[in-house]
Structure 1
């Protein structure tokens, strides 16, 4: 059975101490501007490899294998984040069960 997968943005973090200590121009860094808390995306079961429009390519690369697995019956929920150590975004992935 195939499942759509819903992505919800849970948190946008910003590690100011890491930016200050480990970047060349710390004043130019801000929290991720591509996402907002509560924002959602639905990945159709028939196309689990297709990145949603306006979705960060790096974040998509970090989660697309889990989304594919969930669309094929994997875990019901999973929390993941992108690999940006300075300003990671935390996502909730939810497998959506087809309507009966």
Structure 2
């Protein structure tokens, strides 16, 4: 069995009151790296090893210019997001359970980056492939 991992941006939050109080730029706004609906596919096999390249070129769907999206052809995933999702991606690529007992499906996880004023929320899914 081969495995791929699909990551989807399912939401973005913005807390302007926290940005105003704590950020050097009080008008930083929402995360510029991701868009709700962005999708990424990770593979790790003889031909591809997206994991060890920080997810560069994993973007498969966006409504934005792909060159401006993390995980697109020009920039790897944001380090804050990567820190939050990489462990689940790696487990899924190895065929492991991503979050058994916590999520309804053991091959799925919901996680978010650690930016406290503008977090991005991701759905991570292990996809079981034939062959």
8 A Cα contact 2:12 2:36, kept in partner: yes
2:96 aligned with 1:70? no
Q: Whose relative contact order is higher, 1 or 2, with alpha carbons under 8 Å and at least 6 apart?
A: 1
RMSD: 1.7
Mean alpha-carbon deviation: is it higher for 16-25 or for 83-92?
A: 16-25
The aligned runs of 1:14-93 (5 Å cut-off) are: 14-27=14-27, 29-46=28-45, 47=49, 48-53=51-56, 54=75, 55-73=77-95, 74-75=97-98, 76-93=107-124
- SS of 1:26's partner is coil
- In the TM superposition, residue 2 of structure 1 has moved relative to its aligned partner by 4.1
Unmatched 5+ stretches in structure 2: 57-74, 99-106
Give the Cα–Cα distance (whole angstroms) in 2 for the partners of residues 43 and 81 of structure 1: 18
- In the TM superposition, residue 24 of structure 1 has moved relative to its aligned partner by 3.6
- In the TM superposition, residue 12 of structure 1 has moved relative to its aligned partner by 1.1
Give the Cα–Cα distance (whole angstroms) in 2 for the partners of residues 49 and 86 of structure 1: 28
Q: Structure 1 segments of 4 or more deviating over 4 A?
A: none
Q: What is the aligned partner in structure 2 of residue 3 from structure 1?
A: 3
8 A Cα contact 2:2 2:130, kept in partner: no
Listed one character per residue, the Cα deviations across residues 2-29 of structure 1 (whole Å, up to 9, x for unaligned) are: 41100100111111111122224313x1
- In the TM superposition, residue 50 of structure 1 has moved relative to its aligned partner by 2.9
TM-score (norm 2): 0.68
Aligned residues: 99
